[in-house]
Structure 1
Amino acid sequence: MSIDHDLRGLVTACRTALKPYPIQPLPDHLLHVTLEMITDAPADRITDAERTELITSLDNHLAAMSAFRLLAGSPVANKAGAYLDCWPDDGLNTLQQAVRSAVRAVRGPEAVRYSGGRPHCSLGYSYANGDSDALQSALRAISPSHAPFTVVAVVLVEVTFTLTETASLAEGTQPAWDFDFTPLHTIALTGPGTPVPNS
């Protein structure tokens, strides 16, 4: 977020639109595009040796990949919260397949069962009922509704979920899941090639 100022502006505008709704916005350091989740075991059942093996496999599978440009937006509201679609698909799909191959190589097919739909950047998650149609109208009014950004690295993270009480608009407090990332390893995309600006 420190480099892509257009993306920061779009995210800021979206957070303003989200304020009247029961959606917990993600802070800058939690904004992400999920490429894969390890689905065969929770984090506390993965040993240090297994983590090292996974990191080595990711390093090897992503060694030739270069940074590339994406377009975030338009913002979308649904029952789960709000997110930014990401486009074009080619570079992201290639990266996602490389990550999945790396995970599959060391943990087998059971570890790559995540299905999150098209790649996207989540803006926040809902914790109570709200009018997604009204929110979508507010998000659609944002202009510009797209922002370019550069994918420069893949980060292996351990995700921790905590049940907390979150203020709700009309119902006092509502339980909501907070989550945080513990970065374990970063793979910079420094292979051959130059990011191509979006036209």
Structure 2
Amino acid sequence: MSDSGVAPASTTEAVVQRIAQLRAELAMLRPRIADSSELLTHALSSAEMVDERGYLAGLEAQVEEINAQILEQARLVTEPHPLWPGGWFLERLDPPHEDLRWRTPYAPYLATPTSGAHRHAWRTREGAEAAVPTDRRHEYRAVWSPITLGEYEAPLDADTLNEVGNPRVRVRDRFAFPSGWSRSSDEPITFVVALPSAQVRDLADRYAPVLADQPALSLVPTSWLHIPLWQDRSRRFEDAPPDMTERLAARIVERYPERAGESLTALLARLSAPPEGEPWRYGSRIWDRYCALEEELRGAPLPPRPAPDSWNTVTAGPEVPREWNWSALTLVSAVRRELIDEAREKVLDDLEAHLAQQPAFDVVAGPAVADNDGVQLDLWPDEPFRELMDRCATWRESRPEPIPASWRPSLPIAYSTADAEVDLTGLHHIRQRVTWRIDELAVVTMRMDRENGRYRWNNLRRIPLRTPGGPT
């Protein structure tokens, strides 16, 4: 394999140029086919009809031949790159009909992108061959395809190739819909991430001139580049200590001695008292107690909460005490935050101990690939990332969710921020790859920055990985 990511006998530029020529030939043939088809609907003599049908058959044969040449050219590319992401598939050798010819890795429907590099295919021949059905009712072979095919999609042809192989890629607003890694909530979420080396950041910078001209893309600043590896879906890092109420009361007495008195003592005692009234109102009554405590510490009333005119009343600012809006209770919340942060340190210690035997590993970063979420640096091989993610997932979990077979690691360098077409022609001119030694992880609390089309985080802990040959 050459550095350009195509077969040694060719180059990316040569493939692009040749396919562009073939597509231009197709464009010239299609009007002639349309005219001939229209002519056959007119009253022609038998001889004229035979001649015209022969002429039309000849045109259609030329189209089939050009389609075959386009496919042959595209198959010269046997690694992901911006125009043809590609991958390995299982092709059934005895298909009952064309639609059931292919087998692809399973992935949840909502994770299926509409275009680009993260289509569902095995990255390696070995991965595809390992998934051959064991019942042996049918015979399969692993084949490379320049684009990925869904199990029930039409056969591969030039038109299908054009949807992916065209440098104008359709993207969507990544931040418009919540998904696994792009939560829509404004609450920070804790992630385990890997931060790129200086060499990887330099490679990402090389793509900046190509991407900066695209209004629908938001470049990720090098200081915020990251690959997310594990998400704290159970919010273990945000859990309050079991004796939170008692600790909160003791800390408030310590922090606000000037407020000591019967009034504060009574309010603190109410925090741990069983709630009264209808069970469905328990949450609101407990929240009322926290609001009363905040007013006692302030020595002033809180702003009135918004009237519950509808379930859609969510426009109140952070200073308005909607239920469980801790940002409105600044004094109480500050003490709660201290206690949660102290509890979090113990959780971080536990995670670091869990990852103590995780070895550092080398991966290759680059080149850039595009999909409908933006542009990423391809990362391979997959297995070290999968092993690391599995190790994270088994922390306090006996049965973690399986990683989809189609998942590929990637390092986002630009996020899509609108539903639009972007011109990524220049991406294929930069085909460099660099080696990235991943010997440290970061635990961060991350939140969306919708205004600037990126993510921001606060660092909680850096966790070193075991270096090969080092102490175990």
Range of TM-score over shorter length = 0.7 to 0.9
Q: Which residue of structure 2 aligns with residue 95 of structure 1?
A: 388
**1:63 CA displacement:** 0.7
Q: Which runs of 5+ in 1 are unaligned?
A: 165-175, 195-199
Look at both structures and tell me which one has the larger radius of gyration over its CA atoms: 2
Could you tell me whether the CA contact under 8 Å between 2:218 and 2:453 is conserved in 1? no
2:363 partner letter: L
Q: Relative contact order: is structure 1 or structure 2 higher (C-alpha 8 Å, sep ≥ 6)?
A: 1
Q: 1:162 aligns with which of 429, 436, 449?
A: 449
Query: Which of 431, 439, 464 is the equivalent residue of 1:188?
Result: 464
- What secondary structure does 1:131 align onto? strand
How do 1:100-119 residues align onto structure 2 when only pairs under 5 Å count?
A: 100-102=393-395, 104=397, 117-119=407-409
Percent identity, please.
Answer: 23
Q: Say if 1:186 and 1:2 are closer, same or farther in 2 by CA, change over 3 A.
A: closer
Tell me the equivalent position of 1:152: 439
Give the superposition deviation at 1:50: 5.2
- How many residue pairs get aligned? The number is 175
Q: Cα offset for 1:41?
A: 4.1
**Aligned match of 1:143:** 431
Asked whether the 8 Å contact 2:196–2:225 carries over to 1, the reply is no
As a proportion of its length, which structure holds more strand? Answer: 1
Distance in 2, Cα, partners of 1:14 & 1:180? 21
Instruction: Check conservation: 2:379, 2:409, Cα contact below 8 A.
Output: yes
Alignment CA distance shift 1:139-1:83 (3 Å): same
3-state SS, counterpart of residue 187 of structure 1 = strand
Distance, in Å, in 2 between the alignment partners of 1:10 and 1:84 is 9
Structure 2 unpaired stretches of 5+: 1-194, 241-339
* 1:34 counterpart SS class: strand
Report 1:23-42 matches (<5 A). 23-41=217-235
Give the 3-state SS of the residue equivalent to 1:35 in structure 2.
Answer: strand
TM-score scaled by structure 2?
A: 0.33
* Counterpart for residue 212 of structure 2: 19
Q: Distance in 1 between matches of 2:435 and 2:427?
A: 18
Equivalent in the alignment of 1:128:
418
RMSD between superposed Cα atoms in Å? 3.0
Separation in structure 1 between the aligned mates of residue 196 and residue 363 of structure 2, nearest angstrom: 16
User: 180-189 or 61-70: which moved more?
Assistant: 61-70
The one-letter code of the counterpart of 1:157 is: V
Q: Give, in angstroms, the shift of residue 60 of structure 1.
A: 1.6
**Greater Cα shift, 27-36 or 96-105:** 96-105
- Verify the 8 A CA contact 1:54 1:102 in the aligned structure 2: no
User: How much does 1:113 deviate?
Assistant: 8.9
Q: TM-score, normalised by structure 1?
A: 0.73
Rounded to whole Å, the distance in 1 between the matches of 2:227 and 2:396 is 17
